[in-house]
Every structure is written in structure tokens, then in C-alpha cells.
Structure 1
């Protein structure tokens, strides 16, 4: 049996510069791990109907040789799940991609071939999925094709999601947590930005009745990576929502400090720090690193580490 492990890697862009995306990568991977079924339901409904989610486990990340980059790389997420039609376990490889890489489609094939080489006796099917999160709208290649006249040597094609090509309005009536978390990363105009923010807050308010604090914090942390901070606008939107849904007044008041980094304002209210500490504790339990928690909450790293030490001392 393989054990689950989270891998955070610094990747390079086409100019060779490292991208400082550890908080983004960690939060995004944790979103896919936590809401894998929701992700497949949202973007690949046909595949969703073929999977048995009662038999799912994330595998230890595979160290693979990247011939294109001439360096060893680790897969972002690899899971094993039962495929109904084959009545057997298959592999699904999820690879988020946040920067431009002209060789990415080749790299996906290299990953696939390494997995096939290693697992072909155990698994009858390997499904590679790429999730493109770049801000630019472009047509990302998803196929590697080699041929000679009248004969295909190779035709490899992976599944892909290009978030900026998704129309955000298509998802606002969904109760899918992934839709809420990624709404700000989908396609919309500058004029629509405020409306997108309002719809996210409305969706988040509805999700709070179904999800625990840790999962809500995860959704908020991912969405917060994509929304540009605007506290005044957020308060205006929340007031408007309160007028539309007066019966949700108490929930609105709880949501407002949540959007402001869960209301962490030193010494402002008695008991506020205790509540914030509880959220941080759950994020740490959920697998986030101290650096990622500090980045997401804007709380000094040393304070996060103190809370972590205190938590470990109590276990």
C-alpha cells in the first residue's frame, strides 16, 4: 500500500526563473485532494459517471525523470480509483499548470509513459488530466502526434481544463465547492469583477451550511489567491446580500470576518484570537504547512509556529 503525501515543488517558467507559487500550489493541490469528486463532476461529468468514489486513495508521489527538462520531477497528484466498466482500479494523474511551458504536452506524455511502464500490470487504464490556471487565455496543446504517410506512430491526448476559458456565469448556480473556489479564476471582464465577487460570497454563504470550518477555510484560501483584496467593496457587497437575504443576517455577520482573513484583528474583540487560533489549528491538521497558513491568513509565521508547537504539545 502506498501512503498519501503532499509534494510542493518550485517550477520554472520559460525564461528559467523560478515561480514563487508554493502557497498557490499547496492550496490548489489540497483543493483537488479534498474535493476530487466535485472537481470531476464539475468539469468531466461523463467521466464522473464511470468512477466508483467509494474506492479512492491518493498514492505516494512518483519521482519521474523529465527528459525535456533534464531533471527529476514529481507528479503533482496521483490517485487510484475503481473504474466501473472495467471493474478494476485505474490511475488518474492530475497536473495543475500555472505558467507557460511550450513543452508541457510532451512532459505529460513522458509522465504517462513512465506510469504505464511502472503500472501496466496492475492498472488497465491511466487517465492524465491537466488543469491550466494561467491568467492569459490561450489554446494549450493537449496532444502529441507522430505519423508517417497513412500511418499513425503515436497519438497521445490528455484531458484538460483551461479555467480562463470557462464562463463564470455557468457555475454560479452550482453548489459545488470547487466552482466557488475557482470562480475568480474563470473568464470574466473587468466590468464583471464586482459581480463575480458578490456571487462568490453568496456561494460561500450557502456552502457554510454543508461544510466544516476546515473545508470552508480551504475554499476561502484558494479563492483568496485569485481575488484582489478590496475590503471596502467586500463590505458593500455583504450589505447588499444582507438586504436581499435578511433571514441570513447572522450568517452574513459570521461571513464578513471570514472574508477579512477570518477576522484576525489583534485586540479588537475578546475571544477573536481564540477563534482565529482554532481555524489555524484546523488548517494545520488538514495538512497545510506553516508557511502556507501564514501566507493565506497574513499572520506572522512565528505566531503560526507557536500555535503549531502548542498543538503538538497537547497531542
Structure 2
């Protein structure tokens, strides 16, 4: 069973918090000491008269180099339009300030907008009178649909891969986005364990709308380019397994390997050398000759 959207997104932020900050807030990243990070229990925040109670999505404590002390970072994903979201963020900030101001010198709120609509999300709340600012509250924000997907395809950042399909791209670019995601995923296999790889794939599957014929074409392309990686990708592709892709992909792998073998032989390698390179029996290589 795939994780529900909110749970999967929260798990992604918990697991790859450092990668998230590195990707979207590089200046803040340089000020954080990730060796001292602690996620706090879900805070239940109640308004002044106790009529409304809300749980924060993610709240963590981390050391901030500039203050030589601990700060709080509040992450709040938002997947639908809410004209009063900025007011809600101020309410959260106020409650956190009230509760933690003695122990923490700084509270950083971050809104993460995952809606499919491209719009300017309000991140500021002001109260002013002539010649005087009573209040100006502004939280950090990430609007995923405003991010150009091509900026991230050479990255080995797990969050960039997981959220690539939520970035801004046209309908004509959808296939390229899918292919580049799979290529990024293969790069991640060199440094992530299977549990984290599966999490990246699960979140990505929430946003992609896979097409069987297209995916088979992409797999064949990748098998020709990266023959040793194809089966590993397939194993961590739950959507493809649910749709029974194994038979079609296996056929694509055979075609891809045959093409690679043909090219190696044309470049002068012996059947024995090709056999060792692609890890197939010499007899099979000779049949393909």
C-alpha cells in the first residue's frame, strides 16, 4: 500500500531535512549544525480562547551557528488554496514564541506549497499606521510549481528527485521529466539504502502519472545506456509492478542488451571479453553474432 500523500511528504521531510534545506535555502543551510538536530513531538497549539486546536506538521530543534545556541524550525506543507494561510502561520509562530522563547533565540517558519496551481502565495502579514509599523511577519516559502525542473536534474539531492514531478514543466516536457527522474534515481542508488530509495520512489509516484507504453520505452533507453541498473530500478518501481510490467520490461531488457553486445563486437571486442563485460554466457554472445 502506498503511503497517503501527507504522511509520505512528512516522512520525506523528516528523512531528508538537510537535503531539503540545502536545495531551497542554501544561505540558511550554511548556518545550521546538522549534527545536533532533534525532531520534537507534534505540538498541539490552541488559540487564545481555546476554541481551535491544530497540530503542527513538523517542528525540530537544531543548533544555529550564528547564535551559538538552539533554534526551532517549523515546516508546514500546504497542498490546497487557503487565503488565510499566512494568518495561520502567524498564529503558529505566536504560540511557539510564547512557549519556547526562554529556551530558543530564533524560530524559523517555512511554508511549502505543493498545489498544482501557479500563483503568488502570500507569505507576509503587516499591520501599519502612518509612519509606524506595528507588525511585519514574513515566513520563508517554497512554491514547487514555480521551480524550473531543469535546474535540478544534475543534482544528487534526494528531495530534488522525489519532487521533480511537482516542479514547473509543460505537457510536452512530461516524458523528459519522467526520464530524468529515473536517471537521478539511479545516481542515488550509489549512496542511499533501500529504505530511503523506496521513500523517494513512493513520494515521486504520488505526482507522476505513469503511462505503460511510455515507461517501457524509457526503460529500454535506460537499459541501453545503463544496462547494469535496469533490474534494480524495476524492483523499486511499485506502480510498474502493480500493473504487471515485468514481462514487457524483460523483453525490453533483452533488446537493449542485444544492441549493446552488437556495438561492443563492432568495436573489436572478442566474444569472451563481451561476455565478461555484460555478464552473459559466451554461448549466448555467439548466438547474437
TM-score normalised per structure 2 = 0.81
Question: What is aligned with 1:100?
Answer: 81
Q: Is the 8 A contact 1:235 1:256 kept in 2?
A: no
Q: 1:261 to 1:228 in 2, by over 3 A?
A: closer
1:73 to 34, 54, 58: 54
1:35-114 equivalent positions in 2, closer than 5 A = 35-65=16-46, 71-114=52-95
Tell me the SS of whatever aligns to 1:156: strand
Tell me the SS of whatever aligns to 2:105: coil
For the residues of structure 1 that align with 2:174 and 2:46, how far apart are their CA atoms? 41
Q: Is the 8 A contact 2:205 2:239 kept in 1?
A: no
Tell me the SS of whatever aligns to 2:236: helix
Question: What is aligned with 1:145?
Answer: 126
1:249 to 224, 227, 249: 227
For the residues of structure 2 that align with 1:167 and 1:32, how far apart are their CA atoms? 20
For the residues of structure 1 that align with 2:170 and 2:64, how far apart are their CA atoms? 39
Q: Is the 8 A contact 2:149 2:168 kept in 1?
A: yes
Q: Deviations over 1:56-107 (max 9, x none)?
A: 0100111012579952100000000000010000000000000110100000
Q: Is the 8 A contact 2:97 2:107 kept in 1?
A: yes
Question: What is aligned with 2:237?
Answer: 259
Question: What is aligned with 1:278?
Answer: none
1:289-304 equivalent positions in 2, closer than 5 A = none
Q: Is the 8 A contact 1:68 1:106 kept in 2?
A: no
Question: What is aligned with 2:115?
Answer: 134
Tell me the SS of whatever aligns to 2:227: helix
Give the ranges of 4+ consecutive aligned residues of structure 1 lying more than 4 Å apart after TM superposition.
66-70
1:16-27 equivalent positions in 2, closer than 5 A = 23-27=4-8
For the residues of structure 1 that align with 2:142 and 2:49, how far apart are their CA atoms? 23
For the residues of structure 2 that align with 1:106 and 1:150, how far apart are their CA atoms? 23
Tell me the SS of whatever aligns to 1:249: coil
Q: Is the 8 A contact 2:70 2:104 kept in 1?
A: yes
For the residues of structure 2 that align with 1:130 and 1:108, how far apart are their CA atoms? 8
For the residues of structure 2 that align with 1:68 and 1:235, how far apart are their CA atoms? 58
Question: What is aligned with 1:273?
Answer: none
Question: Is 1:164 aligned to residue 148 of structure 2?
Answer: no
Q: How far 1:229 moved relative to its partner? A: 2.5
Q: Is the 8 A contact 1:231 1:260 kept in 2?
A: no
- Unmatched 5+ residue regions in structure 2? 248-289
Q: 1:118 to 1:242 in 2, by over 3 A?
A: same
Q: 1:209 to 1:141 in 2, by over 3 A?
A: same
2:170 to 167, 189, 192: 189
Q: Is the 8 A contact 1:205 1:252 kept in 2?
A: no
Q: 1:115 to 1:170 in 2, by over 3 A?
A: same
Q: Is the 8 A contact 2:144 2:167 kept in 1?
A: yes
Aligned length: 244
